[in-house]
Structure 1
Amino acid sequence: MNALQTPDTNDELAGLGDDRSLLLVDDDAPFLRRLARAMETRGFDIETAGSVAEGIALTKARPPAFAVVDLRLEDGSGLDVVAAIREARADTRIVMLTGYGNLATAVTAVKLGALDYLAKPADADDIVHALTQQPGEKTDLPENPMSADRVRWEHIQRVYEMCDRNVSETARRLNMHRRTLQRILAKRAPR
């Protein structure tokens, strides 16, 4: 049996009612397609959006029972989509995804009504578990959390993007020598 076909997934969905509508909002098109296929095989009725505007429009047209929303989208913040979903349907089970996790945005996402906050690339099984967890249920620690080198690299990438890919400004904000930053940016992401 492959990773997309798990017998316990339908058991997890069994107690959640007949409405299996799932809105996926992410601007990474290949990731969005893979996740949509994986979630469809797990019994969800999928709708996808590639932007904040699309996500809000789909939410207003057909408020979903479940939602997986990326935090950073090209046209804004996924938190705006979470707020729109909460306004349209209070019982939607929402999970935030991000490649740039930090405590402040995690707290904001939870305050807006997200059940969980997962780092990308998230496994479809982890997303299903987060969507179907019972209130008060604690999530398991990840088997292979990001290494310290990877966390550092992710932080540098986040600041680099916030500085509109300006190396000099990024180096200044990180209190790092410009050439050191250029060497780090030229390398592949650590595992």
Structure 2
Amino acid sequence: MHYLLLDDDIALTETLSRSLKKRGQTVSSCHNLTELEALLSEVQFNRAIVDLKMAHESGLDAIARIQMRQPACAIVMLTGYASIVTAVEAIKRGAVQYLPKPADTDEIINAFGDSLATEKIDIAPPSVERLEWEHIQRILHELDGNISATARALNMHRRTLQRKLSKNPAKS
């Protein structure tokens, strides 16, 4: 199998690449849509692992590009910002599975399953606590990490927001 890794997190890409190579897989990686286009014209891939959110680009656009250039390539979308809306959109665009980060190599490989055959995809809805955590993280990211501005945007007391941020994210 030849895997394509598309993620703007270089450390994650390198770690996943090493792990796949230890399992005997061939791996090529890129970190943005421009690099993706170059790789798609040079190499034929069996499987692609695509991040949903990159610096100023969307992995959803990458799914469309991969599907257009290499329709036989199975795609798994990884994201740190899992939501039902983006999961449905990724599946509609052609991903065979949608996984929240962190996901280990075995989970990612298993997500492909028999991906060349059409199979039912099971997407469990995240808990309310998880959705709240993701919403807070998204707003915090949009406001460049400014706690006070995030608290105002969420209509929440600053200390309450700090307590919520000090906790680990809720399980899906």
Q: Which residue of 1 aligns with 2:104?
A: 123
**With structure 1 as the length reference, what TM-score do the two structures score?**
0.75
Match of 1:50 in 2: 31
Aligned pairs for 1:96-175 within 5 A = 96-133=77-114, 134-137=117-120, 152-175=132-155
Q: Which residue of 2 aligns with 1:22?
A: 3
Q: Is the 8 A contact 1:66 1:94 kept in 2?
A: yes
- Determine which of 64, 67, 70 is the counterpart of 1:83: 64
Give 1:149 shift: 5.5
TM-score of the aligned structures, taking structure 2 as reference length: 0.83
Quick check: 1:52–1:75 contact (8 Å CA) kept in 2?
A: no
For the pair 1:189 / 2:168, whether they are aligned, the reply is yes
The residue that corresponds to 1:66 in the other structure is: 47
Amino acid at match of 1:164: D
Instruction: Summarize the Cα distance change of 1:170–1:138 in structure 2 as closer, same or farther, 3 Å threshold.
Output: same
Contact 1:24–1:32, Cα closer than 8 Å, also in 2: yes
Q: CA RMSD in A?
A: 2.5
| Secondary structure of the corresponding residue to residue 114 of structure 1 | coil
SS of equivalent to 2:96: strand
Q: 1:170 Cα shift?
A: 2.3
Percent of counterpart pairs with the same letter? Answer: 43
1:4 corresponds to: none
Query: Offset of 1:132 from its aligned partner?
Result: 2.9
Pick the aligned partner of 2:20 from 16, 19, 39. Answer: 39
Q: Which deviates more, 93-102 or 173-182?
A: 173-182
Measure how far apart 1:35 and its partner are. 0.6
CA contact (8 A) 2:96 2:121 kept: no
SS at match of 1:46: strand
